[in-house]
Structure 1
Amino acid sequence: MPPLKQHFGIPSTAPFVDVDTYDDTSLFVDPFRIARGARSDPYAAEAHALICDYSELLCRRLLGSVEDKACAQQMLDNLNEPSETHLGMSRTGYRGRGVGEYLATKIREALQDDLKALVAVGVFHWIGALPLFVRNFDSDRMSDVTTSIIRGVLIDFTEHMVDVYPEFRANGNQVRECKMTVWDRHQHQWIERTAVLPYVEGHPLLLIPEGWTGSHIQLHARRYHSVTVLGRVQEERLEQNPKARRIPKETLAKLPMYSEIYPTNLAVTLRAFREGINLLEALIQYVNDWMDEQERLAA
């Protein structure tokens, strides 16, 4: 089947991602890109606010009372793989495996066990940082979780695009009502919402603003390990012995105590925080600067 814009007869300049209308498109919604967009785009600002509200409440509840933990589980149970976006990696059309119970359990156990110390001291309070510390929490999974949390904003954006582009209602194309579960940051809970969306092959479609997706997420474990974490290890060694030679990161990465990416990321992050250094903020600044430079060169 043709790409989305060709299918509806919409100009290629329309400000949303041109996905495949049948198969999943190998692009991923990136919470970091959304956070960057929040500086100038009201849709991105609201999406970022939703992610922050969800993340902070989930962390607080997972470390709270038995009742809080039950509420946290309900928050996780409503995450799913949104087939309405046609994004991600699916083997059979655009109806993929879904987040399901396995991933909800993985997030809960990570925040209550391995990441508990980071959560407790306030270093970890944004779900977009999960891929830095949790094995097999890759671009596809992060995209699924992010899309579930920001679904309400995607509904707002899609309904606006339907109003801007009459092609969605022309030439036999359908726009219909459907029910969707969205995160409400004012009520701090999942609610049911009625959406008016375009349909393709009998299924609702959510549009994704341009700039919110990429071929991979920007904050991933290997980048954090090779750039920020091993950079801190270099500084630690120099602090212990100022006259020592700076050991290259490539050499450090081969040493047994630093070669395992996820345990090293966790241990060095916590160690640095105890010294008053927030490595998560350092990574975010590094990637922001790098992307600013890329955009400057492309202009």
Structure 2
Amino acid sequence: MMHVPTVAGGAAVKVSEYYGINRKQGSLDFIDVDTVNDVRAYVDPSAIRYLQDDWGMECMRMLTTFFDTVLDSVRMGDKRRTSELLSRLSEPNETHLGISRGKSAGRGFGKQMGEDFAEKLAASEAAKSGLIEDLEDTAFFIGGVDKDIVSDVTTNIIRGPLIAYTQQMASMFGIDLVEGVDSGPVWNPDSLEWEHDFVSLPVPDGNKLLLVPKAIVRRDMHMSRGEYYRHHLSPVLQSEVAGGAARRLLDTVREGKKQAGSYPTKKEIQRMFGSTKPDITRETLKRPTIYQNYRELKKKIRPTPLSHNDMADLAEASVPDFEALLKAVVETPTGFDNATAYHKAVEALFTALFYPSLIMPEMEEELHEGRKRVDLSYTNNATDGFFKFLVRHKVPAKYIYVECKNYGSDVKNPELDQLSSRFSPLRGKFGILACRRFQDKDLFLRRCRDTALDRRGFIVPLDDEDLKTLVEDAIHAVNWKPSDPPPEEPEIPPNLADFPLLHNRMRYLHS
């Protein structure tokens, strides 16, 4: 059933309010933006690089092929092709992300800005020399390009996957879609050309809307020109000056005051060499390995995702109320008539509880060309905690599967076999069986262990009481302070990425 808009007249409201979605930001996978104004946040291509699911890899393929094509045209001196590629970029106001004041409009990539970018890139020695390799590099060495432009360009390039994501979220939450909406330019990584199509999208108050997963949104970019200058380029310049390479210049800066043997300060380095983008570009071109080393270092460090608190601050929302989400699960009556309500309540709880380890929820996902379905699946995006533990211990866990059984009686072997039949070595062999209660939980756990010992995958059953434990642990993690007594199991840190109950269940399955 589709939700029709609950607010009209161009009022500034959240997407969730406009479409009558009974969810807060914490239990939504997308940024719950305002339907009129912008949220001051950015799509960071560095965050996309670490998404290992099919959606993320398709986005990365688009980013790589697009910018490689642009750089090839620059190095070949083909200004017409460079301009053609960049001038097709449009203003991605439909995401409502960026730095506009008031109504979303025109702060990003218009035709003229695309042409200006093409001219600057074509004339850039950093691009011609190979110093610029990725889109993020342009914010360091191209005038007029900063995080807002990098975000806008990224949004344009991955518009196709964002359309698919928006349609998926609309299907999950019953958001009304309008057919025949102009897609805007969509990059084709096979033909290496821009294309247009007519698609189905939400159009609140006549304005096209693209939803953006919070996993790829940041307050600031992972690659920082200020960080590079302060902690990488400037120390090298200090060493060079201290070594005598520019002592005369240093003496000039000090206005003839002799400080023999003294090490130049960073302020003196800034006065000697400058700190503007052209200054940084000039000095980096003389020492390209400094930036190359910085870029490689940053690629090894995974960008920190927005926390629940960050998102609450950005979207002017509240942090998740885990107890309320749990209450919605345990107060759902058992039985077939309430199976869908239970399914949705579990998804809302898990989406909030397991973020940022589990992202991109998909309900009723089709497997094996539609011959099988799974109630709920997530992409495993963990950097620590239990879901990272699975990966480190060689448990295939690219995707995490969840089956929801709202039975008034025990689940039995057929339900266990149903979930294990969804597993595969490539997509994942770990799942959660959410159910209401067990008459004999120990017996069912032994059945789960039998499944694991038969190498058919790892299934952790969680009933209502187990969910209460997970929520208690999450609340403890939120409220925990360094001065508090250590947890009972010190090897398991008290944070939202970890849950002792899940660890204990996995230990039992391995025993």
> Aligned-pair distance for 1:54?
1.1
Write the letter of the residue equivalent to 2:14.
Answer: P
Moved more, 50-59 or 212-221: 212-221
- Alignment partner, residue 26 of structure 1: 40
Equivalent residue runs for 1:60-99 within 5 Å? 60-65=72-77, 68-99=78-109
2:92–2:109: 8 Å Cα contact kept in structure 1? no
Q: Identify the match of residue 297 of structure 2 among 282, 285, 291.
A: 285
* CA distance in structure 2 between the aligned counterparts of 1:292 and 1:212, rounded to whole angstroms: 10
* CA distance in structure 2 between the aligned counterparts of 1:290 and 1:209, rounded to whole angstroms: 17
- Alignment partner, residue 206 of structure 1: 210
Write the letter of the residue equivalent to 2:18.
Answer: H
> Aligned-pair distance for 1:69?
2.3
> Aligned-pair distance for 1:34?
2.0
* CA distance in structure 2 between the aligned counterparts of 1:287 and 1:228, rounded to whole angstroms: 15
* CA distance in structure 2 between the aligned counterparts of 1:214 and 1:225, rounded to whole angstroms: 21
Larger RCO: 1 or 2 (CA < 8 Å, sep 6+): 1
Equivalent residue runs for 1:18-57 within 5 Å? 18-35=32-49, 37-38=50-51, 40-57=52-69
Write the letter of the residue equivalent to 2:76.
Answer: G
Structure 2 residue 185 is the aligned partner of structure 1 residue 178: no
> Aligned-pair distance for 1:8?
1.9
> Aligned-pair distance for 1:18?
0.9
> Aligned-pair distance for 1:240?
6.1
* CA distance in structure 1 between the aligned counterparts of 2:302 and 2:238, rounded to whole angstroms: 21
> Aligned-pair distance for 1:182?
0.4
* CA distance in structure 2 between the aligned counterparts of 1:298 and 1:132, rounded to whole angstroms: 35
Inter-CA distance 251–265: structure 2 relative to 1 (3 Å threshold): same
Structure 2 residue 279 is the aligned partner of structure 1 residue 264: yes
Structure 2 residue 238 is the aligned partner of structure 1 residue 249: no
- Alignment partner, residue 158 of structure 2: 150
* CA distance in structure 2 between the aligned counterparts of 1:249 and 1:290, rounded to whole angstroms: 28
- Alignment partner, residue 146 of structure 2: 138
Rg larger for: 2
2:38–2:104: 8 Å Cα contact kept in structure 1? yes
2:201–2:209: 8 Å Cα contact kept in structure 1? yes
Write the letter of the residue equivalent to 1:140.
Answer: D
Please state which structure has a larger fraction of its residues in helix. Answer: 1
> Aligned-pair distance for 1:269?
2.2
Structure 2 residue 207 is the aligned partner of structure 1 residue 197: no
* CA distance in structure 1 between the aligned counterparts of 2:305 and 2:230, rounded to whole angstroms: 20
> Aligned-pair distance for 1:15?
0.7
Count residues with an aligned counterpart: 282
- Alignment partner, residue 223 of structure 2: 219
- Alignment partner, residue 418 of structure 2: none
**Equivalent position SS for 1:190:** strand
Structure 2 residue 110 is the aligned partner of structure 1 residue 100: yes
Moved more, 45-54 or 217-226: 217-226
> Aligned-pair distance for 1:293?
11
Identity fraction in percent: 25
Moved more, 260-269 or 123-132: 260-269
2:59–2:161: 8 Å Cα contact kept in structure 1? yes
Structure 2 residue 126 is the aligned partner of structure 1 residue 111: no
RMSD between superposed Cα atoms in Å = 2.9
Write the letter of the residue equivalent to 1:127.
Answer: L
> Aligned-pair distance for 1:152?
0.9
Inter-CA distance 281–106: structure 2 relative to 1 (3 Å threshold): farther
* CA distance in structure 1 between the aligned counterparts of 2:294 and 2:43, rounded to whole angstroms: 22
**Equivalent position SS for 1:196:** strand
**Equivalent position SS for 1:204:** coil
* CA distance in structure 2 between the aligned counterparts of 1:109 and 1:298, rounded to whole angstroms: 47
Write the letter of the residue equivalent to 1:110.
Answer: K
> Aligned-pair distance for 1:30?
1.7
Structure 2 residue 29 is the aligned partner of structure 1 residue 15: yes
How high is the TM-score relative to the length of structure 2? 0.50
1:183-219 Cα deviation digits (max 9, x unpaired): 1111101011232111211122111011212223232
1:225–1:264: 8 Å Cα contact kept in structure 2? no
Inter-CA distance 291–83: structure 2 relative to 1 (3 Å threshold): closer
